[in-house]
Chain A
């Protein structure tokens, strides 16, 4: 059982209103929201082109490799790249800030 004093809701509200937390929140949202908008737009562009422009997507670039296939493999590439960039960003930029705020809430006592 935990013997930590439960953090009060006033303490949470104080942290939420603090400048550090607002910066953290802004940092997080300004990374994930545009990225989400980008990959959704890119994915639906691919879907819509496949559905409404099959001739274009079926154009052979070399051998039997079509534009559509390259677009499709491009979806894999962007998914992998976004995953990699996000993880790096979160580990290096986001975590240190988030951890600092979390530690302050505990009043600096480690448990």
Chain B
């Protein structure tokens, strides 16, 4: 079995070429990072590049941040294997951006400087709120980080032709070290440039692949779908073959029974409300000078992300048609291998090498963004505002941020080694669920509800954070999924089928934890009398008019 897998792996592309392309990307981007951003930095430069990017640049960088390995490789694979249901999944990721555009981006830009906690603690009691927000920011970023690092480990076996434990760990360590270099040398400015370059490469490669696939089917999308159905119907696996015509109709993944159906509603809710609560996405709004540029950023991000998911639709069905479910299922990395295998099918080793390089770059760039956000939370919220009560120098703050970045790099590397066999999509869904439960209710309340106060914020943040994590812990993703008849292993995180402590039926906690967090925010607020009319007026006037943003930038 092991030999078969290795033989299968070795057939795809040239590991040397893949490594070479990745190394070139790292060398070029590191060169750029050093050129644009080396040297000593103020806190503003380190966290937010001094707010000096344009809306268009930031929009491209947001797309780079958002089109992570999970959404590029994961969605293409889901469409290749589950057709319509994979497509359905991608739509939630896009529609979510309207929440950011209409309700969050501009108002956050106008009221905050460096971190999410700046906005949430604006008119509330600083210390308790900053501590609570820091907990949820770090939790969300940690799960997202693990997902990316797990993705790196999974990709290696496919792209470098190695499947050994040690080799995967080595690659995770390399990704971690390079990422820390970007962050330490370049700060937010360097990281943003890496995101921009990566986003352009990724979208360009996806565009070439889509056009190539469509050209093979006479630019007729209906024939492409037929191709995927035909290839799937010819599968050696009878069960897969029987599903062929269901590729074009809903239900292959989420329509099995009532539990999977409700689970999908729960996932959809988390996706659509989670995006605008992801700390590393919110942090990006501070890299532009004004709310108008923040608006422009989101406009650009929506065009690029939407366009990219449309390309993913053809890439996914293209992989289903030209590579086929059997090869995808046999490849190391399974569904995540669909897009790279399609690249190999179309353009041989060279295109595979390019896609592989971009996939690694994607992980690198996203992890760097997460690290900046988390280190800003440590240095700005916990060290400066909570621990030093605002009395510290810029130098000390930036030094703490850099030390935090190093520590987060270490956590990412070891966490990634531990999590590399975990399902990436699950980890990402977890991050979205926690973001939608612990962050978004407080963001919306503090921007839009006059009566909101500290108790409401604390109940909502801690309630959302704990309920989502506890529900996941007792859900089938952690234990108790039925054992696979072939391997005897459970599909849960704990693969031993005899260990089963789940009592929550859904994989996704959002359906319970998001409404609960909104409810707790309301309940906490109405049971507390705290209200600061002056601060409320200041926050509301600033959030809508942008007054005071220019002054804040001059510091």
**Number of A-B pairs, beta carbon distance below 8 Å:** 170
Contact stretch, chosen from B233-241, B260-268, B387-395, B478-486: B260-268
The smallest C-beta distance from B282 to any residue of chain A, in angstroms, reads 18
Nearest-neighbor residue (CB-CB) of B273 within chain A:
A40
Q: Does B99 contact A (CB under 8 A)?
A: yes
- Interface positions of B from 165 to 187, Cβ below 8 Å from A: none
Quick check: B249 and A54 within 8 Å, CB to CB? yes
Using known A-B contacts A15-B537, A58-B250, A79-B306, determine if residue A111 contacts B221 with beta carbons closer than 8 Å.
no
Within 8 A of A (CB), among B218-270: 220-223, 225-226, 229, 248-251, 254-255, 261, 264-265, 268
A64 with B544: CB separation less than 8 A: no
B56 to chain A, nearest CB (A): 13
Given A13-B533, A64-B248, A80-B303, residue A50 in contact with residue B88 (CB < 8 A): yes
Within 8 A of B (CB), among A62-91: 62-66, 68-69, 72, 75-76, 79-80, 82-83, 86-87, 90-91
Interface readout for B291-320 with A: 1 if CB under 8 Å, 0 if not?
010011011001100100110000000000
The answer to whether B544 and A36 have CB atoms under 8 Å apart is no
Expressed in whole angstroms, the minimum distance between the Cβ of B190 and any Cβ of chain A is 26
At the interface, is chain A mostly helix, strand, loop or mixed? helix
Q: Is the CB of A13 within 8 A of B534?
A: yes
Q: Which residue of B lies closest to A94 (CB)?
A: B544
B interface: dominant SS: helix
A: interface residue count bin: 35 or more
Q: Are A36 and B545 in contact (CB under 8 A)?
A: no
In the complex, A53→B103 CA distance in Å? 31
B396 in contact (CB, < 8 A): no
- The answer to whether A43 touches B91, judged by C-beta atoms less than 8 angstroms apart, is yes
- Enumerate chain A residues within 8 angstroms of B229, measured Cβ to Cβ: 64
Over the window 31-55 of chain A, the binary record of Cβ atoms lying under 8 Å from chain B Cβ atoms (1 yes, 0 no) is: 0100110011001101110111011
Residues of A within 8 A of B299 (CB): 83, 87
* Contact partner, B546, options A40, A58, A82, A98, Cβ 8 Å: A98
Contact of A16 with B265 at beta-carbon distance under 8 Å, contacts A58-B248, A76-B310, A83-B303 already known: no
Residue of A nearest to B229 (CB): A64
- Asked if A4 lies at the interface with its beta carbon under 8 angstroms from chain B, I say yes
Question: Could you tell me the distance in whole angstroms from the C-beta of B214 to the nearest C-beta in chain A?
Answer: 14
Interface residues of B in 47-100 (CB under 8 A from A): 84, 87-88, 91-92, 94-95, 97-99
Q: A9-B534, A13-B533, A36-B102 are in contact. Are A51 and B250 (CB under 8 A)?
A: yes
Q: Considering the complex, give the chain B residue whose CB is closest to the CB of A67.
A: B249
| B137 within 8 A of partner (CB) | no
Please tell me if the beta carbons of A2 and B535 are within 8 angstroms of each other in the complex: no
Q: Which of A10, A21, A83 contacts B98 (CB 8 A)?
A: A83
The interface stretch among B155-163, B366-374, B492-500, B547-555 is B547-555
Which of A43, A51, A68 lies at the interface centre, i.e. has the most chain B CB atoms within 10 A of its CB?
Answer: A51
B538 at the interface (CB under 8 A from A): yes
What CA separation (Å) do A25 and B540 show in the bound complex?
9
Whole-angstrom distance between the Cβ of A48 and the nearest chain B Cβ: 7
Q: Which residues of chain A have C-beta atoms less than 8 A from B95's C-beta?
A: 39, 43, 75, 79
Residues on A with C-beta less than 8 A from B88 are 47, 50, 72
Given known A9-B537, A87-B295, contact A35–B102 (CB-CB < 8 A): yes
Asked whether A72 lies within 8 Å of B103 as measured between CB atoms, the reply is no
CB distance from B257 to the nearest CB of A (A): 11
Interface size on B, residues (CB 8 A): 61
Taking a contact as CB atoms under 8 Å apart, the answer to whether B255 and A51 are in contact is: yes
Q: Knowing A2-B555, A58-B248, A72-B91 touch, does A16 contact B540 (C-beta < 8 A)?
A: yes
A16 in contact with B248 (CB, 8 Å): no
- Which residues in A have their C-beta under 8 angstroms from that of B295? 87, 90
- CA A52 – CA B251 in complex, angstroms? 9
B166 to chain A, nearest CB (A): 43
B272 located at the interface, meaning its Cβ lies under 8 Å from any Cβ of chain A in the complex = yes
Residues of B near A55 (CB, < 8 A) are 249
CA distance A76 to B303 in the complex (A): 10
Instruction: Find the residue from B84, B98, B306 having the highest chain A CB count within 10 A.
Output: B98
- The listed residue (B99, B448, B537) touching A13 by CB distance below 8 A is B537
Q: Which residues, 1 to 22 on A, are CB-close (under 8 Å) to B?
A: 1-2, 4, 7, 9-10, 12-13, 15-16, 21
A83 to chain B: which residues have CB within 8 Å?
98, 101, 298-299, 302-303
Tell me if B102 and A86 are in contact (CB < 8 A).
Answer: yes
Q: Are A9 and B535 in contact (CB under 8 A)?
A: yes
Q: How far is the CA of A2 from the CA of B547 in the complex (A)?
A: 14
- The answer to whether A98 touches B265 (Cβ under 8 A) is no
A75 to B272, CA, bound (A): 13
- Counting CB contacts under 8 A, is B470 at the interface? no
A63 nearest CB neighbor, chain B only: B222
Contact A52 B261 (CB under 8 A): yes
- With A7-B547, A54-B255, A76-B306: A46-B91 Cβ-Cβ less than 8 Å: yes
Measured CA separation A44–B92 after assembly (Å):
10
B102 contacts A51, C-beta separation under 8 Å: no
Additional pairs, 10, CB under 8 Å, beyond known A82-B102, A91-B292: A7-B547, A12-B537, A13-B534, A28-B544, A35-B102, A43-B272, A50-B88, A57-B84, A69-B84, A111-B550
Report the 8 A-B pairs with minimum CB-CB distance, sorted nearest first. Answer: A58-B249, A63-B222, A9-B534, A64-B225, A102-B545, A16-B537, A50-B250, A12-B537
27 A-B pairs with CB atoms under 8 Å apart are A2-B551, A2-B555, A7-B538, A10-B534, A12-B541, A12-B542, A16-B536, A32-B102, A43-B95, A47-B88, A57-B250, A63-B220, A64-B248, A65-B222, A66-B249, A69-B87, A76-B91, A76-B309, A76-B310, A80-B303, A82-B101, A83-B298, A87-B295, A87-B296, A98-B546, A105-B541, A105-B545
Interface residues of A (CB under 8 A from B): 1-2, 4, 7, 9-10, 12-13, 15-16, 21, 24-25, 28-29, 32, 35-36, 39-40, 43-44, 46-48, 50-52, 54-55, 57-58, 60, 62-66, 68-69, 72, 75-76, 79-80, 82-83, 86-87, 90-91, 95, 98-99, 101-102, 105-106, 111
